[in-house]
Structure 1
Amino acid sequence: MKAPTSQDNLWVAAGDGQIDRVKELLESGIKVDAHDEFGYTAMHAAVSYNQIEMVKLLIANGAKVNIEDFEKDTPLFVAENVEMAQLLLDNGADPKHTNEDGITPAMAAFEEGWEDVAQLLASITMEVLPSKEEEVDSLAYIDQENSEVAVAATETETGVIIQTTAQQDSIVENQNEMTEELSSKMQDIMERIEEQGGVADEDELRELVTKMLLDEMQQKLNE
């Protein structure tokens, strides 16, 4: 069997509703459930483009209604209207199937805004879909959370430290307190140096200040 080319692509033909071309390709030996490079099958393509007659043809030629793409979505996940969803259900599509994210076809339809399909599937699976108010409240809550809790990542040799905005504010506050304390200590040190008669030059001042700061740090450690 030859590999399909851009001139005889089963998935494109199925999505376009080219009945005769798909028949030719299947008769030439191309497998009806073959996946393309993106994980789609002819069934996925036909369903997503609402090609009712094409779906019937593919099923008649042995296409599996519960075949998965690379994300474990079945064709029912891409059914945008009730007629297509019902056709798949009538031919054995599983409304309780979950994809790799744990999502069912009903929830997928709800998230896509295909409300009629979502309600149809939920009536079979007994899933409780969020109300419009709950969806709005949920989105508002998420937006508020994202606004109030910004996240910063600092790379270190041992990994990544995650800090919230509140933690960062605390760090800045501590740094400010340390700066004020250091400034106060420097003022005290300069006053003590003046009381001791001052210094001859900047090098001597630097050396004396360093020594006094180290003495202060050592006292802190000993406490």
Structure 2
Amino acid sequence: MAPGAQKNLWVAASDGDLTRVKYFIEEEGMSPNAPDQNTYTPMHAAASYGHIELLEYLISKGGDVNVEDEDGDTPLYTAESLDVAKWLVDHGAIINRVNNEGISPAQHLLDDYPAIAHYLSPELAQTGEEEDVEGPSEYAQEQLSEELTNRMMKAVEEIMARAAAEGRDPEDELAALVEKTVLESLDAGEGLVEAEQVATPSLEEPTVPSKRKHTEE
């Protein structure tokens, strides 16, 4: 029985089992680009698990760095380390392409592997890292300002009436009221920003499901 006979070609490639992979390719005549039942190839498996030595062997036997699975994903879409991504690009992996869903390798990897996405597409990664935070709408600000002004004027009238009745200077109490109103205005403004961000539908692209890594035996 061949070494590691319990493994098929794709599991062996995932494990980085060079001896077993060589057996299938050199003794059984299988292709480095052969798809499994999910159209996942040894090239995809080796790239996903970071086996650069195995990738070197596979391309020496005709492995294609741009071989596609049923989703139109090449091995570059499965890269989980920067070294693997760089190796694939150095050996001809196409960066400026999209899969069947219109998603590029950089877009696919952006959420989980931003360093790789930045390497593949610096502009895309920079855009993904920056948050576009907008302030509250003009209408909301006007409503807030009017409410705070009305409340403050009412409080001023009450302070002045009490001070007149008690025969004292209302200056300190008025100063405290102004300070309190300013703080309330700042807190309310932050609340408006948070509320409008929650209420505004996200315009970001839907998260791409992570690439499968496991092959069936």
Q: TM-score, normalised by structure 2?
A: 0.57
Q: Report what 2:131 is aligned to.
A: 134
Q: Distance in 2 between matches of 1:7 and 1:135?
A: 52
Structure 2 unpaired stretches of 5+ = 135-194, 202-217
Q: In the alignment, does 2:61 pair up with 1:64?
A: no
Contact 2:46 2:54 in 1 (8 A): yes
Change (3 A) 1:97 1:141: farther
Change (3 A) 1:46 1:141: farther
Q: C-alpha separation between the residues in 2 aligned to 1:64 and 1:104?
A: 18
Distance in 2 separating the partners of 1:33 and 1:143: 46
Residue 118 of structure 2 corresponds to 119
Identity score, percent = 40
Q: Residue 19 of structure 1 aligns with which residue?
A: 18
- Give the ranges of 4+ consecutive aligned residues of structure 1 lying more than 3 Å apart after TM superposition: 126-129, 140-146
Matches within 5 A, 1:3-14: 7-14=6-13
Alignment root-mean-square deviation, CA: 2.7
Deviations 1:98-134 (A, max 9, x none): 00111111111103x21110110004xx646523343
- Equivalent position of 2:98 in the other structure: 98
CA 1:141–1:48: 2 relative to 1, 3 Å = farther
Amino acid at match of 1:122: S
**CA distance 1:16–1:127, shift in 2 (3 Å):** same
The secondary structure found in structure 1 opposite 2:98 is coil
Which amino acid in structure 2 is aligned with residue 134 of structure 1?
E
Select the structure that is richer in strand: 1
- Partner of 2:44, secondary structure, is helix
Assess, with a 3 A threshold, how the Cα gap between structure 1 residues 52 and 133 changes in structure 2: closer, same or farther.
same
| Cα shift at 1:8 | 4.7
Quick one: distance in 1 between partners of 2:196 and 2:59? 44
1:141 to partner: Cα distance: 8.3
Q: Does residue 1:35 correspond to 2:38, yes or no?
A: no
How many residue pairs end up in the alignment?
137
Residue 131 of structure 2 aligns to a residue in which SS?
helix
- Flag the structure with more relative contact order, 1 or 2, with Cα contacts below 8 A and sequence separation at least 6: 2
Q: Distance in 2 between matches of 1:90 and 1:141?
A: 46
Q: Contact 1:77 / 1:109 at 8 angstroms: preserved in 2? A: yes
Structure-1 separation of matches of 2:197 and 2:21: 46
- Counterpart contact for 1:8–1:25, Cα < 8 Å: no
SS of 2:127's equivalent in the other structure is coil
Q: Is the 8 A contact 2:110 2:125 kept in 1?
A: no
TM-score (norm 1): 0.55
Q: Deviations over 1:141-189 (max 9, x none)?
A: 896467xxxxxxxxxxxxxxxxxxxxxxxxxxxxxxxxxxxxxxxxxxx
Contact 1:66 1:94 in 2 (8 A): yes
Residue ranges of structure 1 left out of the alignment (5+ in a row)? 1-5, 147-223
Instruction: Name 1:83's counterpart in structure 2.
Output: 83
